[in-house]
Structure 1
Amino acid sequence: MGFFGHSPARRAIGLACALAWYGLAADLSAGTLEQADSPSAPQLSQPSAEPFGLSVSRVFAGRLREKWRNVERKLDDERVQIALCDGDRERCASPAALRFLAIIDSARGREGRARLGEVNRAVNLAIRPMSDQAQYGEADVWTSPLVTFTHGAGDCEDYAIAKFVALHQAGISSDDLRIVIIRDTIRGEDHAVAAARLDGHWLALDNRRMAMVEDDNLRNYRPLFVIDQHGLMQYREPPLLAEIPDGVRSPTLTLTVSQPGLVLATN
């Protein structure tokens, strides 16, 4: 459904405000993900400030990166639409945007952990779990927040993307927000969660639970990829989190695998 009409000048103002709100994602250069011991491999960040405390390398090509780039292009339009509706809700013609903004409003009225918890709870309740196959007739479709809220249904990455955007609009710095792709070793499937850093600790906002859990306390998950405002990164191959002793990280393992195609969990 379209949004209310506006002049070119007003759209330009809305675009500027929206980009200032969210921050324009950096355009990544083309490249390939290679083995860590290759001379042309991306440099690994040391030390890592990412969720799970493991080192990462920037990913410059592959199917998963293209999925995220497609979402980013949709977000460019939605940022303008959400900003315009936020400024004039009576003339906003998108019920999805108004529902999304209601969640953001509730979060803006809270601080700290309560703000994160409000977004986690409200998004979990607003979206029905539904597989991409059931909803779109194909596997692994990533949707932007207004598309998800229009349908009222989605799977794990749709929840995570909506939380990622809502938290930023509610006032959380982009430096403290991530989307993390993890391997559920019990279910044998990949899963996506939003992650937010509070007082130096990363909290996972998961559509499978209302309670937020620190990354140190997640068990039976293997972190695979992480997305920030600049794009996609891949974790260096870690052990199972259940096998990591408390307080011990594993920064010395070597990445030797190429980026796979990714099919996420259905809920």
Structure 2
Amino acid sequence: MLARRAPLPYPATTAAFFDTAKIEGIAFLESDSNAVAPDPARAVVRDEHAGVPMFGMDTEPVFGGDLPEKWGRAQAEISQQLKVVALCRDGQRCPAAARELIRLSSEGAGRSGRARVGLINRAVNLAIGPASDEAQWGVPDHWSAPFETIQSRRGDCEDYAIVKYAALLEAGVSADDLKLVVLKSAFPNEDHAVLAVRVDGEWLLLDNRTLTLVRDTDVVRAMPEFMLDDHGVRRFVSANRHRQSVS
């Protein structure tokens, strides 16, 4: 569990993290993203090819510790379970959780861009009920694989994000356009995970506490901490810090 308190009952206000005077609702527009992914080999990365980097911040790799270990396990489970889904589509034995993941990923069928992302985000948020790891598993922190969350129909913020990550991959979204993001709220003091999806060069945040797709530039009263993607874990750092280090 990333949050230090039980998840809020769904739905909840976006005011904790987003500027409600500026946020943009789900726009059902037909569009596709052709942005180029950042190069993971650089120690500090600015997403030059995609324009302004997420949150206007640079990132640096994180190689050790608890978070890379958890994310590595989650990636392995996602990969394995998507193989099960592929077998389902080939007409082989298909467990109920795999069928549900196919259903969730198909919510955006026939759509593209924000419409596809918005429909899948809505489907996942409505399919899962909020529950803390303490309440559900009796432990302070437990990252569930997609099938586990789908079967229990309960989870906390990173569980929602992981299911959305898997569903959007299954829907055909490039892994380069998907990132789990960990935010630190200023008040109350808590961590919160969301999924970020790049659409038409913009990063949209998918939160389990709202059906609204929110641009990264509209986040307020929260500080981005970590970015988790196909290349591993990276820490957000100030762009000014990077400029000072190379000057």
Distance of 2:104 and 2:89 partners within structure 1 = 12
Distance of 1:51 and 1:83 partners within structure 2 = 32
Show the counterpart of 1:150: 151
- Contact 1:108–1:171 at 8 Å: present in 2 too? no
Show the counterpart of 2:44: 44
Q: Deviations over 1:107-156 (max 9, x none)?
A: 23211111010111000001110000111111121111111101110000
Q: In the alignment, residue 253 of structure 1 is paired with which amino acid?
A: R
- Contact 1:113–1:198 at 8 Å: present in 2 too? yes
> What value does the CA root-mean-square deviation take over the aligned residues?
1.9
Larger radius of gyration between Structure 1 and Structure 2: 1
Distance of 1:174 and 1:160 partners within structure 2 = 14
Distance of 1:72 and 1:223 partners within structure 2 = 21
Calculate the TM-score normalised by the size of structure 2: 0.76
Q: Is there any run of 5+ residues in structure 1 with no aligned partner, and where?
A: 1-27, 29-41, 239-250, 255-267
Q: In the alignment, residue 86 of structure 2 is paired with which amino acid?
A: A
Which secondary structure does the structure 1 equivalent of 2:241 belong to?
Answer: coil
Q: Deviations over 1:35-91 (max 9, x none)?
A: xxxxxxx721135654212100111111111111111222232121111112227x4
- Contact 1:195–1:203 at 8 Å: present in 2 too? yes
Cα deviation, residue 161, structure 1: 0.8
Percent identity of equivalent pairs: 41
2:77 paired with 1:84: no
The number of residues matched between the two structures is 200
Cα deviation, residue 215, structure 1: 0.5
Show the counterpart of 1:7: none
Once the two structures are overlaid, the 10-residue window that deviates more, 128-137 or 69-78, is 69-78
Show the counterpart of 1:165: 166
Show the counterpart of 1:117: 118
- Contact 2:227–2:235 at 8 Å: present in 1 too? yes
2:227 paired with 1:226: yes
Show the counterpart of 2:179: 178
Once the two structures are overlaid, the 10-residue window that deviates more, 75-84 or 202-211, is 75-84
Distance of 1:107 and 1:186 partners within structure 2 = 35
Calculate the TM-score normalised by the size of structure 1: 0.71
Q: Is there any run of 5+ residues in structure 2 with no aligned partner, and where?
A: 1-39, 243-247
Distance of 2:221 and 2:98 partners within structure 1 = 36
- Contact 1:223–1:235 at 8 Å: present in 2 too? yes
